[in-house]
Every structure is written in structure tokens, then in C-alpha cells.
Amino acid sequence: MNLTHLQSFMMVVKMQSFSAASEQLEASKGLVSRHVKALEDELGCQLLYRTTRRVSMTEAGQTLYAKACEIDRLASEAERLVQDLTEDDCGRLRFTAPTELGKALLAPLLIPLMANFPQVRFEFCFEQDIQDVEFGQFDLALRTTLKHSDNLVAKYLGRISHVLVAAPGYLPAADLVNPADLPQYPLLSGGETQWTLEHAAGESVTLGFESAVISSNYATNHLLALSGQGIACLPYYLVQQDIAQQKLLRLLPEWYLYPYDLYMVYAKQSHYSKKLRQLQQLLLTWCAANSQFIRKS
């Protein structure tokens, strides 16, 4: 069914006049009449009774008009719902990130975002397992891997800075001055068997070792380091406060480790909601303002 012809028919019925309908549609009366006639020919029935004084609908015209009005109402409602979800401050926003990084972003980034969008329902998933973004389970993800389909956008944010830490009572920081001495101490790892350290001056050293303790997550190694069980390689964002409060000592402070790149991942689409755009911008701004945590290089 030709929508232009249907629009002309509906306007004629609404205005009860071809002349008035043509004014509303900014088209000639003859063109509006031809549109209605073409619609009748397409449907194979008469839709309007035409006299010199008035226009009225046939039974078929009444049926078509009622259904067309219902469709128009549903289309308007759908448009409002889509606007609610994409432009207005409502709907939902689903964000996933690695466990400790997600937690670290709550106070400086996510809670203020929630305050800006009080009508939005936020869904957070902070765990190491990769969650679906391509098929709509989540709107945006932070990932440490570039593996993704062509239907996704992966924006590089930088390298995640890691530092070496130990409890003050376990090892005075001054006692360790050479990275080559690290394998002599109990090392807490996430399963890796070597660390690559980069010096501020540009030097790089790769050390192989055998872990004293292997853990599948940062939280466990963090607790083990705090309790004096060894030296841990942990994200700087996770231990910065502990270092400032002297709960942990940073060892070899001129050296950093960058085991993972960080990417902001979201589905390719022609339009992004206001709330999603703001989350993307907040993440970019946070990374730029915290180069000690996320190094852009």
C-alpha cells in the first residue's frame, strides 16, 4: 500500500474536504484526488462517497480509516518509546567491566552518571568473563582483549599500569633495588610465569619465575600481599590508596608493568543514546585524567 496515497485519504477524511486536505498537505486538489483514486484502485474498492457538498466514507473506507488511525497511534507510541530509550533520561544502560576495574570506576565515574540520569535503570556486571555486547546483552564493555567481531567498535584506551607491592613488614622497599633479584622472593601471580618491567627511562627487562602462589583474581593476591605473603604485581588503580596509606609498599618505583591493553567496546549502530554517549565520554575523560593508571601509548 502506497503510504502517500494513504496519507492523502486520511487527511481528506479528517478535513472532510479535498480542498482543505490539499491545503494541509500543501499539494493541489487534483493531486490529492488522484492519490485517493489510486488507493481505491489498489484496494479494488470505493473508499469515499463524493458529492459537491461533502465527502463521506464507505464501509470499506471506515474500516481502512480505523485501522490506519490505530497504526498511526501505535507508530507515534513506538516513536515516543524509542525516544525515551535513546534521547531522554530514561530506559536502561548496561555496562560490564573486569571485576576490580569496574569497582574502581564506581565512585569517580558511575555514581555521578547515575545522579545525572535518575530515571535510567543501570545494570552493572563486574567479572572477568567476557559478556555479550554484539547481540545487546550489554551496551558497553571494557575489555583487555582486542578479539571482537566486525559488528563491534573497539576503541583503544591505553595500557593498564601495574606495580609491584608488598606489605611493609614483609620487605622494606630499600632492600630491593634490582629487578633481577625478584625471583629470589615469593611472588604472587595470576598464573603468568614471567613479568616484563619497563623503566621510566625506557629500559625493559623480562624476568621468568616460579610463583609462590597462583590466584585467578586480583582480589586474592591483593589480600595476600596485605597479609605479608609475598610480592604481588597489581593494577596501580587497585593499590594506590594502600600505598598512600602505607598499608603496602611500592617496590622498584621507577618500574612499571603493562600486561594488558584496555579497550572500550560497543556495538556498531547509526545512533547512540545520550546516556551511552555520556558514559563513553566519561570513560575517555577518566582515562585521560588518570594516565598513572591507564597509559596512552
pLDDT tens string 107-126 = 999 999 999 888 889 999 99
Local confidence band at 257 (pLDDT 50, 70, 90 cut-offs): very high
CA–CA gap between residue 116 and residue 110 (Å, rounded): 10
**Alpha helical stretches, state H, 44-125:** 59-86, 99-105, 111-116
Report the candidate in 160, 161, 164 with the shortest Cα–Cα distance to residue 175.
164
How many Å is the Cα radius of gyration of the chain? 32
Note the pLDDT tens digit of each residue in 174-231. 688 899 999 999 999 999 999 999 998 889 999 999 999 999 899 999 999 999 999 9
Q: How far apart are CA 235 and CA 140, in angstroms?
A: 22
Verdict on whether the full-model pTM lies above 0.75: no
What residue type is 95 in one-letter code? F
Within 135-230, where are the H helices? 218-226
